Amino acid sequence: MLELKNIRKTYQLGGQETIALENINLSFNRNQFVSILGQSGSGKTTLLNIIGGLDQYTSGDLLVEGTSTKTFKDKDWDSYRNTTIGFVFQSYNLISHLSVLENVKMALSLTGVSTKEAEKRALTALDEVGLSEHAKKRPNQLSGGQMQRVAIARALVNNPKILLADEPTGALDSKTSIQIMELIKRISHDRLVIMVTHNPELAEQYSDRIIRVADGSILEDTVPVNVLNDSTEKFTKSKTSMSFFTAIKSSMKNLLTKKTRTALVTLAGSIGIISIGLVLALSNGMKSYIDDLQKETLSGIPLTISQTSAGNFDSMTESPDKNNTNQSSNEITIKEPITTHQNIYNEDILGNGETFIDFLEREAKGKYSNLTYDTGYQMNVLTKNTNGDIQQVKKEAADPSNPASMFSMGSLFAKLPANGENILSQYEVIASENKAFTYPTNQNELILFVNYDNTLNKDISKALGLSSEETQDAQQLLGKEFRMIDNDSFYEKSPVGNFFINQVIDERMYDNGLEAKIVAIMRPKDATATLISASLGYTEQLETKMLAKEKDSDIIKFMKEHPKTNALSPSNDEIDEDTHKSIMQTLGGDTSPTNISIYPSTFDEREAITKVIGDYNRQIAKKFGKNSDDYTKYMIQYTDMAEMMTGMMTTMLDTITVILTAFAAISLIVSSVMIGILTYVSVVERTKEIGIMRALGARKKDITRIFNAEAGLIGLISGIVGVMITMLLTIPINSIVSKLIDMDGFNASLKPEYGLALILLSVILTLVAGFIPSKGAAKKDPVEALRTE
């Protein structure tokens, strides 16, 4: 069944060729017990390894059941070792971290036998060598003879046709040796046994045939085989393959035998994951804080569309023109200045009979709590100071010698949105004439707004005609009266020219004014309130009433008749259309809005409104073309202060997150390298095991698979541990943040998809790190691997 034809084996050592075997011609029949005798170094082991397919011959041929092995590929040799050959070694070569039973089962794990079947067959094999009751023990709990029996059981479990034993009794005492010899003799009744020994007595006593080897050549063959008795059976190449599950199980076992080390490496590996996870969780927490801020605190801030818009911050900062490739240093290109954008919302641009305002009111209906139009109308207001003197309520012009006065130039009066929802979300009533008061709705109701810290600026106090005392009784301020003076009472035509002059401010003018009084004092709930920058809030009803009067006033009529004359100035200089419009707006003769404020009450409403504006602009783009000048001219630009505030925060946060993640990634790389080193150490430690597995028929691929599985497993555990620790750490972090810093809505948490991604990343990185050592393990020469201790 086995023929060696002219086998020659040489080793290349330091450029020098050593001949280990030469001119070997041997034939073997089944059910023989053949002993190979010879001195140390004569080539016995080499011969056995070549027969067993563990080592390859240099020239000649080895025929198995008449099949030449010349064309055998790696996988054919693997299958040959797994199905046809059983190996028994002098040093037993059992895997110490596996039980006796698992050692025996290992050969079966390569053939795809089910676990149950493998267990049954392994137990049968152990029974045959008389060790079934020791199945659960570890190899080092057995005596030498027992260990060799386990090795024999392992060699027999696949029912190979050939059993190869390399000095199986070399490490045993003579009594035990005899027992092993008896066992091998029994085995040889139904298979070919080739045994290397240097004990001639044992060979004489037990074997059917003795082959003597000296210096790599055959010296004597007691029963040479001339006629092969086996042409009926053919060698069939079958496939061995270790299932992925088996590989995982094997590496899991190995990891479990080194619990402390595995735990430490896993912890080290998880540090990288934890650091990235924490950065992501914290940034997520900040994002949720910003979202919260946007949703709750900032959602009441109106979107504004002004007659003249400066656009967004983006368009306000000049960015270099990327298309301008002319970078030559001796040419200077003149370019257009950044211009403000005129929003045209009062004209039918689309040609469908609808202005932008019509469109907005129709499309955004129900998506806001307030929609207010500022008209630009500036009321002339009188009040009496504490001495009873009548004074006009107006801010003094900024003092050019005091630059700080420029900052307090905000207007004194502001029209309040009709619906109190937005104002009341930011402001609270601190004093009111009527206890049941919530929000002004009548034309004669005014609200005094004071600062967050209950202060009122001195210039405002003066303008309102309050007493000069340092502290004021809030109740005393309630009921303070103001008179709104219409144009006809305030201005009169100059007798000397085409302009109007102010009438004398007196008791008569005061009495003719429309009465309104402070009914409540309001204060911001916290320092972030931004809705009102004025001090006196009046109702829409008051403005409507006044505008109705102004419409037919003399000065308005005059302005309409003389569109090029400024009625408020004695100068004869002609004015342009824009100036005319703005004067008319100030006087209340042109009520077209200077500013549209849309107050959403929720974040979703804000989104919906921006979408409405976007839809309008898309229609403009469709009509005029996206790149046309008309599009740029007619599109509507809005300002979203809330978006600008949170947008900047988000950009900053994203930048910080990227930087921190990069730092955290370094620790991840360090831990990956560590796992690579560990895999390498593991390969070195398990070199012998690799040799054994190869002898049992494991493919290179299977070896790679085992070490990849080990690295992957560490990566998986590190990843899971890392993600879990991160999640646990977010609990104290959140409680510390909420206790120490007042950040409502801050909630650090690792998003599940990020958690999964991190685990995956951990597995991938450790697989990459373990790849080279795993490949190295597979490349190990099985003969050399077996020789290592």
Binding site for ligand ADP (CB under 6 A): 11, 13, 18, 20, 38, 40-46
**CB nearer ligand ADP, residue 720 or residue 786:** 786
**CB nearer ligand ADP, residue 207 or residue 343:** 207
154 binds, among Mg ion, ligand ADP, none (CB under 5 to 8 A by kind): none
114 binds, among Mg ion, ligand ADP, none (CB under 5 to 8 A by kind): none
Report in angstroms how near the CB of residue 56 gets to ligand ADP at its nearest.
12
HEC letters along 378-406? CCEEEEECCCCCEEECCCCCCCCCCHHHH
**CB nearer Mg ion, residue 45 or residue 84:** 45
Report DSSP state, residue 471.
Answer: S
Compute the distance between CA of residue 203 and CA of residue 218 in angstroms, rounded to an integer. Answer: 16
- Token representation of residue 636: 């509507």
**CB nearer ligand ADP, residue 217 or residue 461:** 217
376 binds, among ligand ADP, Mg ion, none (CB under 5 to 8 A by kind): none
**CB nearer Mg ion, residue 41 or residue 479:** 41
Report in angstroms how near the CB of residue 4 gets to ligand ADP at its nearest.
15
**CB nearer ligand ADP, residue 90 or residue 585:** 90
DSSP characters for 6-28?
EEEEEEEETTEEEEEEEEEEEEE
Alpha-carbon distance values, 561 to 567, 580, 655 (Å): 11, 12, 59
- Cα 631 to chain centroid, rounded: 39
- Give the HSE-up count for residue 430: Cα atoms under 13 Å, Cβ half-sphere: 19
71 binds, among ligand ADP, Mg ion, none (CB under 5 to 8 A by kind): none
18 binds, among ligand ADP, Mg ion, none (CB under 5 to 8 A by kind): ligand ADP
**CB nearer ligand ADP, residue 43 or residue 145:** 43
Measured between alpha carbons, how far apart are the two ends of the chain, in Å? Answer: 34
41 binds, among Mg ion, ligand ADP, none (CB under 5 to 8 A by kind): ligand ADP
**CB nearer ligand ADP, residue 200 or residue 563:** 200
Report in angstroms how near the CB of residue 143 gets to ligand ADP at its nearest.
25
Among 370, 266, 124, 318, which Cα is nearest to 762's?
266
Compute the distance between CA of residue 464 and CA of residue 383 in angstroms, rounded to an integer. Answer: 7
Cα angle: 245, vertex 246, 247; to 5 degrees: 90
**CB nearer Mg ion, residue 47 or residue 108:** 47
589 binds, among ligand ADP, Mg ion, none (CB under 5 to 8 A by kind): none
**CB nearer Mg ion, residue 41 or residue 752:** 41
Binding site for Mg ion (CB under 5 A): 45
Report in angstroms how near the CB of residue 753 gets to Mg ion at its nearest.
59
- Cα 87 to chain centroid, rounded: 52
Report in angstroms how near the CB of residue 697 gets to ligand ADP at its nearest.
21
Report in angstroms how near the CB of residue 208 gets to Mg ion at its nearest.
22
Report in angstroms how near the CB of residue 684 gets to ligand ADP at its nearest.
19
Report in angstroms how near the CB of residue 209 gets to ligand ADP at its nearest.
18
- Cα 627 to chain centroid, rounded: 37
11 binds, among ligand ADP, Mg ion, none (CB under 5 to 8 A by kind): ligand ADP
46 binds, among Mg ion, ligand ADP, none (CB under 5 to 8 A by kind): ligand ADP
Among 553, 554, 577, which Cα is nearest to 565's?
577
**CB nearer ligand ADP, residue 18 or residue 346:** 18
763 binds, among Mg ion, ligand ADP, none (CB under 5 to 8 A by kind): none
Phi, psi of 599 (to 5 degrees): -100, 105
Among 648, 618, 584, 617, which Cα is nearest to 309's?
617
Compute the distance between CA of residue 774 and CA of residue 684 in angstroms, rounded to an integer. Answer: 11
Report in angstroms how near the CB of residue 10 gets to ligand ADP at its nearest.
9
Q: Which residue is nearest to Mg ion (CB)?
A: 45
**CB nearer Mg ion, residue 45 or residue 425:** 45
Which of left, alpha, beta for 663 (phi over 0: left; psi -120 to 50: alpha)?
Answer: alpha
Place of tokens 């930048």: 655
Q: Which residue is nearest to ligand ADP (CB)?
A: 45
**CB nearer ligand ADP, residue 128 or residue 215:** 215
524 binds, among ligand ADP, Mg ion, none (CB under 5 to 8 A by kind): none
Helix (H) or strand (E) holding 739: helix 700-740
Q: Which residues contact 78 (CB under 8 A, 6 or more apart)?
A: 240, 694, 697, 698, 699
Among 729, 650, 752, which Cα is nearest to 283's?
650
313 binds, among Mg ion, ligand ADP, none (CB under 5 to 8 A by kind): none
Report in angstroms how near the CB of residue 8 gets to ligand ADP at its nearest.
12
Alpha-carbon distance values, 610 to 314, 598, 600 (Å): 17, 10, 10
**CB nearer ligand ADP, residue 41 or residue 224:** 41
Compute the distance between CA of residue 57 and CA of residue 20 in angstroms, rounded to an integer. Answer: 10
59 binds, among ligand ADP, Mg ion, none (CB under 5 to 8 A by kind): none
Q: How many Cβ atoms from other residues are within 10 Å of residue 628's Cβ?
A: 13
Type of residue numbered 283? S
Report in angstroms how near the CB of residue 764 gets to Mg ion at its nearest.
45
Report in angstroms how near the CB of residue 202 gets to Mg ion at its nearest.
16
Phi, psi of 411 (to 5 degrees): -75, 160
Report in angstroms how near the CB of residue 194 gets to ligand ADP at its nearest.
13
20 binds, among Mg ion, ligand ADP, none (CB under 5 to 8 A by kind): ligand ADP
HEC letters along 302-330? CEEEECEECCCHHHHCCCCCCCCCCCCCC
Compute the distance between CA of residue 686 and CA of residue 679 in angstroms, rounded to an integer. Answer: 10
Report in angstroms how near the CB of residue 34 gets to ligand ADP at its nearest.
15
The dihedral of CA 456, 459, 464, 468: what is its sign?
A: positive
